[in-house]
Amino acid sequence: MTALREPYPPIEPYDQGMLEVGDDQQVYWEVSGNPDGKPVVFLHGGPGGGTSPTHRQFFDPAAYRIVLFDQRGCGRSLPHVADGADLSANTTDHLLRDIELLRTGLGIARWQVFGGSWGSTLALAYAQRHPDRVTELVLRGVFLLRRSEIDWYYNGGAGQIYPDLWEKFCAPLAGAEPGEHPVDTYHRLLHSPDPDVALEAAVAWSTWEGATSSLLPRPEHVAETGEPRFALAFARIENHYFHHRGFLDEGQLLRDVHRLDGIPGVIVQGRYDVVCPAASAWALHRAWPESTLCIVDDAGHAANEPGITHHLVEATDRFR
C-alpha cells in the first residue's frame, strides 16, 4: 500500500477582510495560496463550526487560490451568536447569497467547491442553484439533511452505538414535552432566558458531536467543542437549521441532483461515520454518475482522520 497523503504545510492568508452581506451582518473571509491559481472555496461544517488554519492545508498552495470564510454568526464573522446575534437572517438562502457576494467581490468567475458535513449540504445546494459557477465538487461526510438523518443522530439511532455519550446528550431533556423531538426541546433550551440553562444545553449539544465525530476518541477535540463561546454559537446555529429542516424541502438535494450534470466530483466517506452515515453518500453517488466515491474503511466523520485526509488531498490534487 502506498503511503497516506498528508496535509500540505501550514500557510498564512495574503488577503482577508470583512464582507458586508446585509442584515447588519459581516462575514469574515480570507485568501491564501497562489493569487493566480485555480479558485476554490471551502465551506465549513456545523452549521456554526467556523474555519481554522488547518483548512487551508487540503490544497496545493502553488496551484490553488484558496478562499475560506466563516458563515454568518460564527468564527470571526459579526455579530457572533454567542453575543446574542439574531438568527432570523441566518438561513440557507442567506448563506447561498453570501457565497455569491464573496465570489463576485473577489472577481472569480467559477470555482471548485469543497465542503464536509453541513459544508457538503451547502455545497450541493449552491451547485444546484448555480451550476455554471462550479468547476468541481469535493465532498466529505455527506449530509443530505433528510428527516431520517436528523432522527438517526438526534432521536436515538446513534445512541445505540454510543449509549454512554447519548445519556449525557439526553441529560438536559428531562423537562421535554411528551412526544417532543429532541431537536425541538433543545431549541427551547438553547434560547432560554436563563443563561445557565442555555449554556448547559449548548455544551451538551456541541460535545455530543465532538465526541462522536472520529472513529477513535479524541478528548482534546471534545474539550474544544465544550468551550462556552464556541458551544453557544455552534449549538444555537446548528439547532436553528435542524429545527427548520435546513430551510430545504424534504429530499430536495437528491431530487435536484440532475442539476449537477456536467460537474465532476469526489465524495470521501468514512465507513464508520456515525454523524453522517455512509448511506447518504451512497445515495448521492448512485444518483450522480459523474461522482467518484471513496469509502474509507478505518474512519469516522472527521476530516483530519488519516484516511479521510488522504483522499481529500488526492481529490484536490486530481482537480488542480
Residues 117, 206, 214, 280: which is the catalytic one?
Answer: 117
Q: Measured between alpha carbons, how far is 174 from 156 in angstroms, rounded to an integer?
A: 15
Residues 77, 120, 187, 273: which is the catalytic one?
Answer: 273
Q: Measured between alpha carbons, how far is 30 from 210 in angstroms, rounded to an integer?
A: 26
In three-state secondary structure terms, 180 is coil
Residue 79 CA, distance from chain mean position: 20
Q: Measured between alpha carbons, how far is 224 from 307 in angstroms, rounded to an integer?
A: 23
Give first-to-last CA distance, the chain, whole Å: 24
Q: Is 273 a catalytic residue?
A: yes
Q: Measured between alpha carbons, how far is 15 from 149 in angstroms, rounded to an integer?
A: 38
Residues 285, 301, 310, 311: which is the catalytic one?
Answer: 301
User: How distant, in Å, are the alpha carbons of 111, 116, 200 from that of 218?
Assistant: 34, 19, 21
Q: Is 301 a catalytic residue?
A: yes
Tell me phi and psi for residue 287, to 5 degrees.
-85, -15
Annotated catalytic residues are 117, 273, 301
